[in-house]
């Protein structure tokens, strides 16, 4: 695939500064790009890299001054524009449509048009697969599951019975949707299992990384809201509800029945206790433990999570604790000496 810089400018609604007829054949990082490559710079702090790049063109923010001999593509959002260019110059390679002979599709399953089902995949009775969905090898789709149009399930994904997956959803390898929630009670001398009879609903344009687990609700629904992006190795427990366009980073965990708002950012290894509410546009720092409700718009860190600015001040003190302990001990000894002297006088 190849395009002129002017053609790419039309695609991303940008403007060319330099030679619009230069031919672009590939994409590359700014410090590795060569002739025929296009790269991008999203942060003004990295503009110094323009001087040394060998790229044929660079996508930059509007208002950037032209570097001598370098072709620029000026746009409002360089990162967004670059993503669109990558889709054109390196389009995704999807498997051919049709059902592989080694796949097992139940008689009462319904497949839409131009669906691809890879070998060793299993689709149970009552499942409905939308148009142009891609089911890679080794995927399991349980009874009465609904898979939306243009959704992609990579190898090893399991979508358990009754789950609903929206349109344009991407689920990466070995993720499990609809496993039983961790629900147990105690009777006498042993635990008993509380039946998990709800479902999982994953709304449109969600992406789930590898080895993500989303538990079905005990009753009702566990919901992943539209446009939410979840990194690898994240646990979402039963009856959790996550809003729209939220980002959850690797190894985070959300306990049962917690509500997470829209446009939330959860850092890596963050943990949320059960039955709490995290408001919209909240940011939770990496490794933080959230044990109570957080209002809209707050940024928190630490365990238990507190306001990020307070946590930063606490961290500066933490490193000084050994020195402060010694100082305190010296002060105590002096106070005791003064009190002893005062009693003698």
Structure token digits, residue 307: 């306001």
pLDDT tier, 48 (very low <50, low <70, confident <90, very high otherwise): confident
Per-residue pLDDT at 307 exceeds 80? yes
* pLDDT confidence of residue 339: 87
Check if CATH label 2.160.10.10 holds for domain 98-308. Answer: yes
Question: What are the two backbone dihedrals, phi and then psi, of residue 142, each rounded to the nearest 5 degrees?
Answer: -80, -175
Strand order in the sheet with 134-135: 98-99, 116-117, 134-135, 152-153, 170-171, 207-208, 229-230, 247-248, 265-266, 283-284, 299-301, 306-307
Per-residue pLDDT at 52 exceeds 70? yes
**pTM, two decimal places:** 0.90
* pLDDT confidence of residue 30: 93
Nearest to 233 by CA among 211, 214, 254: 211
The terminus-to-terminus CA distance of the chain in angstroms comes to: 96
**Where along the chain do its domains lie?**
3-89, 98-308, 311-345
CATH code given to domain 3-89: 3.40.1390.10
pLDDT tier, 1 (very low <50, low <70, confident <90, very high otherwise): confident
| Catalytic site positions | 238
Per-residue pLDDT at 190 exceeds 80? yes
pLDDT tier, 67 (very low <50, low <70, confident <90, very high otherwise): low
Long-range contacts of 4-12 (CB under 8 A, 24+ apart): 5/38, 5/56, 5/57, 5/71, 5/73, 8/38, 8/57, 8/73, 8/85, 8/88, 9/73, 11/84, 11/85, 11/88, 12/59, 12/73, 12/75, 12/80, 12/81, 12/84, 12/85
* pLDDT confidence of residue 91: 93
Asked, as a colleague might, if the bond just before 304 is cis with ω within 30 of 0, I would say: yes
Is 209 strand, coil or helix?
Answer: coil
CA atoms of 202 and 211, how far apart (whole Å): 16
* pLDDT confidence of residue 145: 98
Average pLDDT estimate for 77-84:
96
> Do 3-89 and 98-308 have matching folds?
no
Long-range contacts of 243-249 (CB under 8 A, 24+ apart): 243/280, 244/203, 249/286
């Amino acid at each position: 695939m190849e395009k002129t810089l002017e053609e790419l400018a039309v695609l991303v609604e940008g403007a060319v500064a330099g030679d619009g007829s230069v031919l672009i054949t590939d994409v590359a990082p700014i410090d590795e790009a060569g002739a025929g490559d296009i790269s991008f710079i999203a942060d003004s702090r990295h503009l110094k890299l323009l001087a040394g790049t060998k790229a044929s063109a660079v996508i930059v923010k509007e208002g950037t001054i032209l570097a001598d001999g370098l072709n620029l593509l000026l746009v409002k959002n360089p990162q967004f524009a670059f993503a669109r260019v990558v889709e054109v110059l390196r389009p995704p390679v999807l498997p051919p449509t049709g059902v592989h002979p080694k796949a097992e599709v139940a008689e009462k399953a319904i497949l839409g048009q131009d669906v691809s089902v890879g070998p060793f995949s299993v689709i149970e009775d009552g499942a409905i697969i939308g148009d142009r969905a891609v089911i890679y090898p080794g995927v399991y789709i349980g009874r009465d599951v609904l898979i939306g149009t243009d959704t992609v399930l990579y190898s090893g994904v399991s979508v358990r019975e009754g789950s609903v997956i929206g349109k344009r959803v991407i689920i990466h390898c070995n993720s499990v949707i609809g496993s039983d929630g961790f629900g147990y009670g105690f009777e006498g001398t042993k635990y008993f299992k509380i039946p998990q009879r709800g479902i999982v609903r994953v709304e449109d344009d969600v992406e789930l990384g590898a080895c993500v687990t989303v538990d079905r609700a005990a009753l009702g629904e566990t919901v992943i809201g539209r446009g939410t992006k979840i990194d690898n190795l994240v646990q979402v427990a039963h009856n959790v509800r996550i809003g729209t366009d939220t980002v959850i980073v690797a190894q985070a965990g959300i306990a049962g029945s917690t509500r997470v708002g829209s446009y939330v950012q959860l850092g890596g290894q963050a943990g949320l206790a059960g039955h709490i509410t995290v408001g919209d546009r909240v940011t939770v720092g990496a490794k933080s433990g959230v044990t109570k409700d957080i209002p809209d718009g707050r940024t928190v860190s630490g365990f238990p999570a507190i306001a990020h600015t307070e946590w930063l001040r606490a961290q500066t003190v933490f490193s000084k604790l050994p020195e402060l302990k010694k100082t305190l001990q010296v002060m105590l000894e002096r106070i005791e000496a003064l009190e002893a002297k005062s009693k003698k006088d």
